[in-house]
A and B are shown apart, each in its own frame.
Chain A
C-alpha cells in the first residue's frame, strides 16, 4: 500500500460540523492539484453519535475510499459531553479516537483533542504501546482551548485543520480562500486566527517524527468537486427536466433537495408532496401535460411507486425515477449503502411490465446516464429508472469542469407539434390514433392536452389505438407486442448509436474477469489495476445497463475469460442472478464476492477475493465479505 497518497480521516460527533469541515478540506486538496475521493460514515441520527469522513487525495486518479487510512484527526464528540436529562446519547467522548484505530495504516499520524478527550480514557486505550507496534505518530493537542481562546469552541475543527496543514507541510492558501468564500466578519476573523495559531504552534513547537507529507500534484484543467447526487441532479437539469415531485427519504433526499433548491430560479417546479405514490403520480401528471419530469425515492418509498410506474408504462407516458438504495429489508440501515434493490427495481409492478434501468458506476457516469435516462424516457415513452446507492450518493470526487460544458437537451422526444398532429391518423370520430403509429421501434408519437387535433384517452387499462378500454384479443396482442418491442429498439440504440455505457478496464488479454455494477465499480477498478501491477492478468467491467441487458457485450466478455467473479454489495447475488437469467448460461464460470455489512468494498478486499478464488484457498476471507462459488463447484 503506497503512501504517496493521503487518506485523512476526521472523526467526531455528528452535528459537530465534521461534514462542512471535510468538504472544505477536500476542496483545498483538490485546489492544490490533487485528485480526491471522499467517503462519509454516519450513524442514523442527527446529533451526537460517532461519525467520520475520509478524504483520499493523491497525485493520480482515485476511484474509491482506498484501504485503511493514514491520518486521523480525532476531535471528540461534543454531544457526548452534555447529555440532557432522559436523552440518550450513549457515546463516550473517547470514541472518535478509540473507534478509529483499527484501520489506521502503519506509519500513520494521529492528532487528538486533548481538550475534549480525558486523560484516563486515553490511558485505557494503550495508545503508546499500539503506536509503537504500528509506528504511529501521535500528537495530542488542546484544540478546544485554542478555539475557545480566539473564538468559540465549535471552531476546534478549524484548529484541527490548521494542525493537519502544519504536520503535512501544506500551504494554508487554499484553506484560507475557502474560508473567505464561506464566511465573513468576525466569524471569519476568528477562524483565520485559530487556523494560523494552530498551524504555527504545531510547526514551531513540535518535533515531527513522521514521514507522511501531503502529496503534490497539478491539474491541467479546472476541477469541480461533486457527489453522485449532484451529478444526477445536474444531468436532469441539462436534460431539460424542470419538474420534480418527491417525499424525503435517505439517501434520495439529496437529489430531491438539490433540484428543489435550483428549480425555482430556473423557472421549474418542485413539489414536496404527501407520500411517494403521490410523488410518482405528480411526475406522471406533469409529464403527461408536457413537462420533463422526474421523481424518485429509496427502497421503501420506491415500493409505493410501483403502481404509478406501471401506469406510466401502460399509458406510455415518459417518466424518470431515481432509486437511491440503502441497506434493507424494510427500513434496514437508513444511512448505509447496499446494492440490494436491484431485483425490486427490475421487476416491481404487475403484469409483463418493462422499464429501462441504468446503474451508473461513478459521478461522471451518474451525470451521463441521467441524461440518457431522459433521452430514452421521452423518445420511447417508457419509464426509466436510475438506480444508485447511498455510497455514490454521498461520495465526492473531482471532475473536470469542462465535462459539464454540454448543450442542454430540452426536447420532448417523440411528441408531435400541432402541425404534425393535423397530418396524423385519426379515427372516424376525429380522435387521434395515439397508440397506433406502428413504426419499427414500437414508438407511437404522442400529443399533449391542450393541443388541437390530438385528443385521446390515456388509460392504465388495455386500450385501443385511440385509448378506449379494450379487451379485444387481437388488439391486446398488438399493443403488448408494440410496448415490449421498445426494449429491443432501445437496446439497439444503446449498442449502435452511443458508446457503450459499460466501463471496461484491466488487461484485455486476461482470462480472469471481474464483473461489477453500480457504485462498486471504483473499488473494483482499483483492485484490477493493483492485481495487474502485481503480475496477475485480470480484466474487469462495470455494467451500467441493467435493463435492457447488454447481452452481446456481456457474452463477448464472458466468452473471453475462463472464470469471472462478480462483485456486488448484497447477500443474495442479485446481479449474478440477472446475468444468468439474461444470458442463460455461464453458471459454471461465475462466482460471487459479496459484502453486505453496510460498508462499501475496499480494493484490498477484492484483491483478496481474487486470490481466494484463483488459489482455491478454503479459508474464508478476513473482511466481512462472502465468496459464493460457481455453480457446480
Chain B
C-alpha cells in the first residue's frame, strides 16, 4: 500500500469539500478581493479532479496568507515572503502533490522577491498566485512594491518616490513558463486561468488583482477590465516571448491609469520543468523521495560503503 493514497485518487469531488466544515470563517473585510481567489480555487480544484488531501497550499503572511485557513487542503502557512522555498521543496520531496503557493504583493514581490526570481528561473513545477492589491493589507495600508508612484500612505506621507515593480515582466525575464494576470472582479476568467496554471508543467505565475477596499480606496477596482484573449485589439501570440514581453510592458504601464488588461500573457510548453531537468541529470529519484520512508524493503545506502577513499 502506498503511503499517500490521496494522490491520484479518482472519485467525484464535491466543491464543499474544500470549505472547512466547522471554522474558521474568513476574517477578510467585506468586499475584499481575496474572496475572489478563494472562490476561484474552490471551483478550479474539483473541476481538475483534485482531492483536498493531495493538494498542498503554501502561503506567506498577510491577509492573503490566510487563504489556506479558509481552503480545506493540506496547508502550510509559513512566514513573510518564504512560501516559495517551502513549496518547491515539498514538491521536490513528493512530486505527486499538487503544490500551490500564494501570498501578497508585499510578501511575494518585496520580502520574498529573491525567492520569486529564483523559483521562476528554476521553473519549478508549481503554481504561484500573488494577491496583488498594491498595498500592504494586514499591516494597515503601507506602500507595497506594486503601489503606484506617488502613492500616499502613513509611511510615505509625501507619496512614494518609487516606480512600481512590474511583476509579469519580472517573472517572464526570470524564466517563468506560464505568466498570467487575472482579477477578482472577473471570476470566470480567474477560475479558467487558475485551472490552466495548475495544469501547466512548470512555474506558473498568476498575478491576481485583488482590490483592498479598506486601505486602497483610491485605487481603481480593476473595472472595467479587458480580457486580452477575447479582445480583437490585442492580437499576440502567447507562445512568443517577445510579443508577450511587449504586451506585458503595455499592460503594466497602463495598470495605474489606462485600461486594465487581464488574461494569459505567456505560455511555454517546451521548456522542461526543474524536476525534469534534474531527473535528466540523475539528481532526483524516480519515485517520490517521501515514499521511500514507508518502503520496508528499500535498501538504504550506508556511509560504511563510502569509506573506501578514507582508508
Task: Find out whether the CB atom of B20 lies under 8 angstroms from the CB atom of A431.
Answer: yes
Q: Does B90 contact A (CB under 8 A)?
A: yes
Q: Does B10 contact A (CB under 8 A)?
A: no
How many chain A residues touch B (Cβ–Cβ < 8 Å)? 83
Q: Which of A411-443 contact B (CB under 8 A)?
A: 411-412, 415, 417-418, 427-431
Task: Find out whether the CB atom of A461 lies under 8 angstroms from the CB atom of B56.
Answer: no
Q: Does A457 contact B (CB under 8 A)?
A: yes
Which residue in B21, B66, B284, B301 is a CB contact (below 8 Å) of A430?
B21
Task: Find out whether the CB atom of B86 lies under 8 angstroms from the CB atom of A457.
Answer: no
Which residue in A235, A285, A468 is a CB contact (below 8 Å) of B85?
A285
Task: Find out whether the CB atom of B75 lies under 8 angstroms from the CB atom of A467.
Answer: yes
Q: Mark A263-299, 1 if CB is under 8 A from B, else 0.
A: 0111111110111011101111111111111000000
Mark B residues whose CB is within 8 Å of A.
1, 3-7, 9, 20-24, 52-54, 56, 58, 61, 66, 68-69, 72-79, 82, 85-94, 96-97, 114-115, 117-118, 278, 281-285, 289-290, 292-294, 298, 300-304, 306-307, 310-311
Task: Find out whether the CB atom of B285 lies under 8 angstroms from the CB atom of A243.
Answer: no
Task: Find out whether the CB atom of A429 lies under 8 angstroms from the CB atom of B20.
Answer: yes
Q: A278-B85, A429-B21 are in contact. Are A285 and B307 (CB under 8 A)?
A: no
Contacts of A293 in B (CB 8 A): 89, 93
Task: Find out whether the CB atom of A405 lies under 8 angstroms from the CB atom of B304.
Answer: yes
Task: Find out whether the CB atom of B89 lies under 8 angstroms from the CB atom of A243.
Answer: yes
CA distance A259 to B13 in the complex (A): 42
Contacts of A33 in B (CB 8 A): none
Task: Find out whether the CB atom of A460 lies under 8 angstroms from the CB atom of B78.
Answer: yes
Contacts of A513 in B (CB 8 A): none
Contacts of B307 in A (CB 8 A): 224, 401, 404
Q: A225-B310, A311-B79, A431-B20 are in contact. Are A286 and B53 (CB under 8 A)?
A: no
**Which of B7, B90, B91 has the most C-beta atoms of chain A within 10 angstroms of its own C-beta?**
B90
Contacts of B73 in A (CB 8 A): 455
Which residue in A274, A406, A455 is a CB contact (below 8 Å) of B52?
A455
CB proximity of A436 to chain B, nearest CB, Å: 14
Selected interface stretch from A38-46, A445-453, A503-511: A445-453
CA distance A288 to B57 in the complex (A): 12
Chain A binding surface, main DSSP class? mixed
Contacts of A453 in B (CB 8 A): 53
Contacts of A418 in B (CB 8 A): 1, 3, 5
CA distance A467 to B1 in the complex (A): 28
Given contacts A458-B75, A468-B69, 9 further A-B contacts (CB under 8 A): A237-B306, A238-B303, A290-B93, A308-B79, A404-B302, A417-B3, A459-B69, A460-B61, A468-B24
Which residue in A278, A292, A455 is a CB contact (below 8 Å) of B74?
A455
Q: Does A245 contact B (CB under 8 A)?
A: yes
Contacts of B89 in A (CB 8 A): 243, 245, 271, 281-286, 289, 293
CA distance A288 to B92 in the complex (A): 12
CB proximity of A116 to chain B, nearest CB, Å: 31
